């Protein structure tokens, strides 16, 4: 932002253009058009294609059939899809960010039905800036989508939103980070859904409160300069959207939800308030935490245990956890440390441990590489200062300013969960699924309600209305969320590289805040993936059956491929217990796992998609590549079992309680899948045990499969990196940044305790 303002203020020509842009963009006569919801395609998937889909999912039998329960079928969906009604997606659609243009709710329906061929999906736009008009459009589009469905449904569309709370700095602040949560509503009728979505309060996308309405309007006009005097329609639409939001007051805090006016923005600052408001409405809903370990939003000190405080966790609604999305995995806990406490009680840089490289330590390494002919004592002083000043600066972008003249590649894999499967950027280990499953709230007894007992799912978090886009690994800027400035904007806004000084910069000499971060050159472009899926074991493809399966945690997640996964406790007190279930057991548990790899994909799109969508729409929305299964499946290479013994008390050390993997079984899969049975002979009925499994396919190429594309030394240490840029001089539009990975599925856990 500083570079942007410096650029505008430093050029008289741009000031003139800004004024002209202001007149055109925010002038009374050219206020811009709203993004309409669009029209969904009017034909469903044909019966023959649905029959094949059903046959594909029943290839391995079903959980608990021997117990006489109703036969289950596996259905795949995406419960995290954004359209251009999300404020960030709206901005990302602009030409200056290489945007494709608007993707309204109808795109989400058509993509899910015809490009990805999902069984169900939901729209989850950020509630903080959803206007009443947008909410009405979203509800109607969801109904339009469901009205097209065949019987049984070829697609079920759920209504929802995202509650987006964040405290990314939290340094010296009393504000607790609670993270992002998707709210999924069971029903869609007007009298069965809230009158407005509930956000986390006004955020920073439309910063009228901080910049003032005139300054914010001027900034919006500046955004259009690069396209002046051409097509300013997208920027006028942004201006219209911003004005619509600015005209809405915040809803009163102490008024019951049903008595609030329709034309206000409703907020809930904490999960406690969110749950209370949902209780007031009384409608069936699920609340799903997601992106928890992503360091862009979660501060280094973020701790999932904060959400186990009284009233911050609703075990009836918060029954699922998004372990994987297009923003990476949030599965694994590691004993990672960026800082330690020094002898005087202050923070100092922690040394690398277990393959984890703190960025403060890397700051010292970079300075050390620049020592040249300096004496050993001088070099050691510089290195020591770089590490400490990085910590004192608060880390992150500002900390990196301590070491001038660096390229993002130069920081290697610092701050990352290196060596793990498609990790979230700047990984926050105390926000991971394993940590949440192991953590105990204060004074909780084993098995007591209030501890996290969530199932594991995947979804996409795609911001271009393309849910379930991981069926093929291509289009990293279409099916993933890598955004970058357009080339002309990148050149204009890129300030000169600071010289690579051998001396670190003292904190007192740093600017008061980090400079404008170019989204094309920052490292997060290397940590965006094509997204995952949620699968359910449901009695039917009907709305109620899908929602019931989600509530029961008969669900699992995949990293994109449609892997079939079954996991059950065989010797439950009343018979087999499926994934997501609970049981009391006083004997060693016995488990069964069955997994079948996803179908290999054929190029292009099936004939029925081309018959129902125009060639132009197939090209625009699907990029001429759809879910198009062949006859061969990718082999399952390995089954891994994770065992977690939750804390007996909050003070019990986590080390040794999370065993990952606890067991591993190699599979000799020739195309028919892999079956595994195992027993825990060391089961202790005096404490709770949690088990879940991962089914890993044979390696196949994936977008950003190796995020930093490291060259490694003999010990496996990253010595040279080549990030996957989204814009700028390092951006190659033909490079999909593919690397082999073992795509996988994560079961929901089975929770056991003694009688």
pLDDT of residue 499: 84
In a 13 Å sphere around the CA of 395, the CA atoms on its Cβ side amount to 23
Is the same domain home to 547 and 630?
A: yes
**Cα separation of 2 and 14, whole Å?**
16
Is 207's pLDDT higher than 80?
no
- For residue range 529-552, what is the model confidence (pLDDT) as tens digits? 999 999 999 999 999 999 999 999
**Cα separation of 338 and 359, whole Å?**
8
Give the contacts of 13 (CB within 8 A, at least 6 positions apart).
none
Is the same domain home to 294 and 404?
A: no
Asked whether residue 105 is assigned to any structural domain, the reply reads yes
**Cα separation of 207 and 242, whole Å?**
10
Sign of CA dihedral 294, 297, 301, 305: negative
- For residue range 436-482, what is the model confidence (pLDDT) as tens digits? 999 987 666 554 545 689 999 999 999 999 999 999 999 999 999 98
Asked whether residue 723 is assigned to any structural domain, the reply reads no
Task: Answer with the one of 463, 494, 518 that is the final residue of a domain.
Answer: 518
pLDDT of residue 30: 53
Asked whether residue 553 is assigned to any structural domain, the reply reads yes
Cβ contact 156:542 at 8 Å: yes
Q: What are phi and psi of 410, to 5 degrees?
A: -65, -20
Asked whether residue 229 is assigned to any structural domain, the reply reads no
pLDDT of residue 24: 46
Is 272's pLDDT higher than 90?
yes
Is the same domain home to 258 and 395?
A: no
Question: Regarding predicted confidence, which is higher, 484 or 673?
Answer: 673
Task: Answer with the one of 518, 539, 563 that is the final residue of a domain.
Answer: 518
- For residue range 714-731, what is the model confidence (pLDDT) as tens digits? 999 999 999 999 888 888
pTM: 0.93
Q: For the chain, what is the mean pLDDT? A: 88
Of the chain, the percentage scoring pLDDT greater than 70 comes to 87
pLDDT of residue 25: 47
Is 116's pLDDT higher than 70?
yes
Is 206's pLDDT higher than 80?
no
Q: What domain range is 385 assigned to?
A: 339-416+485-518
Task: Answer with the one of 518, 536, 562 that is the final residue of a domain.
Answer: 518
Start-to-end CA span in the chain (Å): 59
Mean pLDDT of 271-283: 97
**Cα separation of 333 and 424, whole Å?**
12
Asked whether residue 603 is assigned to any structural domain, the reply reads yes
Is the same domain home to 258 and 328?
A: yes
Is the same domain home to 621 and 741?
A: yes
Is the same domain home to 88 and 69?
A: yes
Per the structure, the count of domains in the chain is: 2
Is 55's pLDDT higher than 50?
yes
- pLDDT band, very low/low/confident/very high, at 119 (cuts 50, 70, 90): very high
Asked whether residue 700 is assigned to any structural domain, the reply reads yes
Is the same domain home to 307 and 403?
A: no
Give whichever of 157-166, 295-304, 505-514 has the largest mean pLDDT.
Answer: 157-166
Asked whether residue 716 is assigned to any structural domain, the reply reads no
Asked whether residue 720 is assigned to any structural domain, the reply reads no
pLDDT of residue 337: 87
pLDDT of residue 168: 63
pLDDT of residue 509: 93
- For residue range 593-636, what is the model confidence (pLDDT) as tens digits? 999 999 999 999 999 999 999 999 999 999 999 999 999 999 99
Strand partners, 38: none
Give the contacts of 734 (CB within 8 A, at least 6 positions apart).
none
Is the same domain home to 344 and 470?
A: no
**Cα separation of 566 and 718, whole Å?**
37
Sign of CA dihedral 695, 700, 704, 705: positive
Q: What are phi and psi of 238, to 5 degrees?
A: -60, -40
Is the same domain home to 435 and 316?
A: yes
- pLDDT band, very low/low/confident/very high, at 163 (cuts 50, 70, 90): very high
Give whichever of 45-54, 60-69, 633-642 has the largest mean pLDDT.
Answer: 633-642
Question: How deeply is 29 buried, as exposed, middle or buried, from its count of CB atoms within 10 A (0-12, 13-18, 19+)?
Answer: exposed
Question: How deeply is 673 buried, as exposed, middle or buried, from its count of CB atoms within 10 A (0-12, 13-18, 19+)?
Answer: buried
**Range in 1-5, 452-456, 561-565 the model is least confident about:** 1-5
Sign of CA dihedral 199, 205, 211, 213: negative
pLDDT of residue 613: 97
Is 173's pLDDT higher than 70?
no
**Range in 234-238, 501-505, 555-559 the model is least confident about:** 234-238
pLDDT of residue 112: 98
Is 22's pLDDT higher than 60?
no
pLDDT of residue 14: 44
Question: Regarding predicted confidence, which is higher, 432 or 346?
Answer: 432
pLDDT of residue 202: 61
- pLDDT band, very low/low/confident/very high, at 367 (cuts 50, 70, 90): very high
pLDDT of residue 32: 86
Is the same domain home to 442 and 568?
A: yes
- pLDDT band, very low/low/confident/very high, at 70 (cuts 50, 70, 90): low
Is the same domain home to 617 and 638?
A: yes
Indicate which CATH number applies to the domain containing 632: 3.20.20.140
Cβ contact 141:104 at 8 Å: yes
3-state DSSP of 371-413: CCCCCHHHHHHHHHHHHHHHHHCCCHHHHHCCCCCCCHHHHCC
Of the chain, the percentage scoring pLDDT greater than 90 comes to 70
pLDDT of residue 571: 97
Is the same domain home to 449 and 584?
A: yes
Question: Regarding predicted confidence, which is higher, 216 or 653?
Answer: 653
- For residue range 212-241, what is the model confidence (pLDDT) as tens digits? 565 566 666 777 777 777 788 898 999 899
């Amino acid at each position: 932002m500083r570079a942007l303002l410096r650029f505008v203020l430093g050029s008289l020509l741009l000031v003139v253009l800004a004024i002209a842009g202001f007149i055109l963009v925010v002038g009374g006569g050219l206020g811009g058009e709203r993004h309409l919801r669009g029209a969904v395609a009017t034909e469903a998937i044909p019966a023959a294609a649905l029959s094949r889909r059903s046959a594909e999912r029943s290839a391995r039998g079903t959980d608990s059939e021997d117990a006489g329960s109703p036969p289950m079928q596996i259905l795949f969906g995406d419960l995290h899809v954004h359209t251009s009604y999300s404020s960030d997606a709206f901005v990302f659609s602009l030409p200056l960010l290489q945007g494709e243009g608007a993707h309204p709710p109808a795109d989400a329906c058509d993509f899910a039905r015809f490009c990805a061929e999902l069984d169900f999906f939901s729209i989850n736009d950020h509630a903080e800036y959803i206007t009443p008009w947008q909410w009405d459009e979203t509800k109607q589009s969801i109904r339009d989508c469901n009205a097209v469905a065949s019987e049984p449904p070829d697609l079920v569309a759920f209504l929802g939103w995202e509650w987006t709370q964040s405290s990314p700095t939290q340094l010296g602040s009393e504000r607790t980070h609670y993270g992002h949560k998707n709210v999924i509503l069971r029903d869609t009728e007007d009298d069965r859904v809230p009158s407005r979505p509930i956000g986390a309060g006004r955020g920073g996308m439309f910063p009228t409160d901080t910049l003032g309405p005139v300054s914010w309007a001027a900034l919006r006009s500046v955004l259009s300069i690069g396209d002046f005097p051409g097509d300013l329609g997208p920027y006028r639409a942004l201006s219209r959207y911003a004005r619509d939001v600015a005209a809405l007051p915040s809803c009163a805090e102490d008024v019951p939800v049903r008595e609030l006016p329709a034309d206000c923005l409703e907020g809930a600052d904490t999960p406690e308030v969110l749950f209370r408001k949902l209780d007031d409405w009384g409608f069936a809903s699920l609340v799903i935490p997601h992106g928890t370990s992503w360091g862009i939003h979660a501060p280094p000190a973020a701790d999932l245990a904060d959400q186990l405080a009284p009233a911050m966790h609703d075990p009836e609604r918060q029954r699922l956890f998004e372990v994987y999305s297009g923003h990476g995995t949030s599965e694994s806990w590691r004993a990672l440390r960026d800082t330690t406490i020094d002898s005087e009680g202050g923070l100092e840089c922690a040394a690398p441990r277990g393959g984890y490289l703190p960025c403060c330590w890397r700051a010292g390494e970079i300075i050390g590489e620049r020592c040249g002919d300096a004496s050993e004592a001088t070099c050691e002083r510089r290195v020591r200062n770089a590490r400490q000043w990085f910590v004192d600066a608060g880390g992150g972008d500002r900390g990196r300013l301590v070491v001038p003249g660096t390229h993002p590649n130069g920081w290697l894999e610092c701050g990352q969960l290196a060596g793990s499967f498609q990790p979230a950027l700047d990984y926050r280990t105390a926000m991971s699924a394993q940590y949440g499953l192991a953590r105990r709230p204060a004074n909780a007894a084993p098995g007591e309600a209030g501890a996290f007992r969530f199932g594991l799912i995947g979804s996409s978090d795609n911001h271009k209305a393309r849910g379930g886009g991981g069926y093929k690994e291509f289009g990293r800027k279409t099916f993933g969320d890598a955004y970058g400035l357009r080339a002309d904007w990148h050149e204009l806004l890129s300030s000169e590289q600071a010289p690579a000084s051998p001396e670190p910069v003292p904190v007192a000499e740093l600017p008061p805040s980090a400079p404008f971060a170019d989204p094309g050159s920052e490292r997060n472009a290397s940590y965006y993936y094509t997204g995952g899926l949620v699968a359910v074991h449901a009695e039917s493809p009907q709305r109620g059956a899908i929602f019931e399966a989600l509530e029961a945690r008969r669900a699992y997640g995949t990293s994109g491929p449609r892997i079939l996964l079954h996991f059950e406790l065989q010797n439950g007190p009343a018979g087999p217990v499926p994934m997501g279930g609970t049981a009391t057991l006083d004997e060693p548990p016995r488990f069964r796992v069955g997994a079948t790899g996803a179908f290999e994909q054929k190029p292009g799109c099936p004939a029925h998609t081309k018959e129902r969508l125009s060639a132009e729409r197939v090209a625009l929305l699907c990029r001429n590549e759809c879910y198009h299964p062949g006859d061969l499946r990718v082999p399952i290479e390995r089954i891994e079992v994770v065992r977690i013994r939750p804390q007996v008390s909050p003070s019990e050390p986590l080390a040794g309680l999370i065993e990952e993997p606890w067991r591993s079984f190699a599979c000799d899969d020739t195309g028919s899948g892999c079956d595994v049975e195992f027993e825990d002979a060391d089961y202790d009925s005096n404490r709770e045990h949690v088990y879940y499994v991962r089914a890993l396919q044979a390696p196949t190429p994936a977008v950003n499969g190796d995020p930093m594309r490291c060259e490694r030394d003999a010990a496996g240490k990253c010595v040279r990196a080549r990030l996957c840029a989204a814009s700028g001089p390092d951006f190659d539009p033909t490079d999909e940044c593919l690397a082999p990975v073992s795509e996988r599925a994560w079961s929901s856990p089975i929770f056991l305790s003694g009688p």
